[in-house]
Every structure is written in C-alpha cells, then in structure tokens.
Amino acid sequence: MDVTLENFPEYLHRLNRVSCEELPAARETHTFIEDTIDFLFPFRSKVMATQKEYKLQLGKMEIELEGLLTSIQNKIEDDPGETTRRFLEKLPKIHRKLMLDAEAFMTFDPAAESLEEIILSYPGFCSITVYRLAHELQLMKIPILPRLMSEYAHSKTGVDIHPGATIGDSFFIDHGTGTVIGETAIIGNNVKIYQGVTLGALFVKKSLAKKKRHPTIEDNVIIYAGCTILGGDTVIGHDCVIGGNVWLTESIQPHSVVYQKHHVVVRDSKVVGNQINWVI
C-alpha cells in the first residue's frame, strides 16, 4: 500500500500487531530491573524493609517477570510461572557473586570508601549487576529479554556486556565507559578491566553466530584502558598485565606483561620558533 499520513496509523497498526504480541515491553523490563536491584540492595531507595515487606517485594517482582515471560511464552520452553520461580531461586547465588564483585572494587580502587558507595554510584558495578541478572535468564534460554536488560545497563553506564558472556567471580570494571564484552567472551576470576577495553570478534560474519568469536581471559588478569583483544582463539593467560591501547589478536602466555612502545617528545615552548595552534 502507498503510505500517506492519512493511512500511516493503519499501516503501523498492521506492521506492529504481531510484534506487540510476541515481545516483552521495554519499559516494564526496566522497571523489573530496578525493582530487583532495590530488592537486593534496599538501601538504594533508603528503605528499612521488614521481612514482610521483603516478601511483598519478592511477590511484586514475581508478577513483573511472569508478565514479561508471558508476552514471549510461545518462544520459551517452560511455563512462564515456573520459569519465573526458577529464576527467583537464583537470586541468593547472584547476590553472593555481586558482593564478591563489590569487594573487588573495594580492594582495587583506592578512591572507594565503602561497599555501599560502590553499589550506589559506580557505573561498572551497575553494569555487572544487570549482566549477572540477565546472564541467568540467558542460561535459561530466554530470548530477547536478557538483551533488553543488558542494553538498559549499556544506556545508563556506557558499558556493553552481552548477557551471553561468561564472567567469573570478583570482576572489576574501573570507570567503565566504552567497555565492550562480546557474547562468547570468557572471563575468569579476579579480572580487572579499565575503561575503553574491547573484547571483540576478529571477523563480523553472520555465519559465525553461536560460534566462539570472542577472547578468553584467564584468572588474575589486568587489562588497561583502550586495549582491544579480538578473536575466539585468543587466550590471555592467567596473571597477565595488558597495557593501555594494546591491540591483540593472538594468545599470550601466563605471567606476561604486554605493552606497546611509543616515543613522546617534550619540548620547551619558549625555544620553539613557530608555535603550533592545535585545533580540535
């Protein structure tokens, strides 16, 4: 049909009708994320909750998630209610992992003064929190919803962690902005990453979907700002230090220090004949 302003509403209605029936709502997804984080860390909203109120909050989250799963029930294996209960049973494990992450922030960041400060204000911790929630749904083979969750965190923090990535305990992202962790990346325990790090694919081809495209980072690795590590066969061995702005597409042996050499010239401006006006 020829689309004009007059028939545009009809066209949009026909185009979106099926999608509206088979996709979770983005705004409701965002509400579920925030309610779940508030449940795990209620001091975010300055609530001194009683045990009864905790149970009521848990019931509210159950209704929210079951509603989101009901909207995609034709795409999931189990009943939405049963799937919801299975996910909620994972919350104690998720909370334990998040506390290990927060303790890693406390250990590595001299500016951090308390766990509460980290949980309330650190974008790296926020992105990890949403990742750990979304990852559990990804493991349960829930479509679309985990990605909606991870992109919500991405929009808030500038950190892009695919929910399919596998990340160990005590994970620390310092500053965070611009960090990208791809779908098939594997990260071990006690790994520290700075801003602008990319753990990406060496090739971008649709035929490589569901294959190992992103690197493996073993335990106790530090990756400094602006580093790019690419490829599914690339393994960064345990206890390595990868310097800033390094580009890697090959594996590195454990206990290695990797950095690039560059030459920086510092001159006295008083003896430079023709000043350079830098325009950025």
pLDDT at 278 over 60: no
Residue closest to 166 by CA, chosen among 199, 119, 204: 199
pLDDT at 273 over 60: no
Query: Which pLDDT tens digit goes with each residue over 24-42?
Result: 889 999 999 999 999 999 8
- pLDDT average, residue stretch 229-240: 97
Task: Name 166's Cβ contacts closer than 8 Å, sequence gap at least 6.
Answer: 185, 186, 187
- pLDDT average, residue stretch 177-193: 97
| Boundaries of every domain in the chain | 1-158, 165-280
Cα–Cα distance for residue pair 217/246, rounded to 1 Å: 15
pLDDT at 275 over 60: no
The pairing of strands 235-236 and 198-200 is unpaired
DSSP character string of 17-39? HHHHHHS--HHHHHHHHHHHHHH
Query: Which pLDDT tens digit goes with each residue over 97-124?
Result: 999 999 999 999 999 999 999 999 999 9
Q: For the domain 1-158, what is the CATH superfamily, name and number? A: serine acetyltransferase, domain 1 (1.10.3130.10)
Q: Would you say 158 and 150 are in contact if contact means Cβ atoms under 8 Å apart?
A: no
Q: 200 forms bridges with which residues in the sheet?
A: 230
- pLDDT average, residue stretch 66-74: 93
- Burial tier of 148 (Cβ tally within 10 Å: 0-12, 13-18, 19+): buried
DSSP-assigned letter for residue 117: H
Q: 258 forms bridges with which residues in the sheet?
A: 242
pLDDT band, very low/low/confident/very high, at 216 (cuts 50, 70, 90): very high
Q: Which residue type sits at 169?
A: D
DSSP-assigned letter for residue 257: E
Residue closest to 236 by CA, chosen among 258, 218, 261: 218
Looking at every residue in the chain, the average pLDDT score rounds to 91
At the second CATH level, the architecture of 165-280 is 3 Solenoid (2.160)
Higher pLDDT, 142 or 22: 142
pLDDT at 276 over 70: no
Cα→Cα distances 271→79, 266, 279, Å: 77, 12, 21
Q: Would you say 20 and 71 are in contact if contact means Cβ atoms under 8 Å apart?
A: no
Task: Report the sign of the C-alpha dihedral through residues 92, 39, 154, 143, in that order.
Answer: positive
Q: Would you say 195 and 177 are in contact if contact means Cβ atoms under 8 Å apart?
A: yes
pLDDT band, very low/low/confident/very high, at 257 (cuts 50, 70, 90): very high
- pLDDT average, residue stretch 225-240: 97
Q: Which two tokens stand for residue 88?
A: 């909620």
pLDDT at 177 over 70: yes
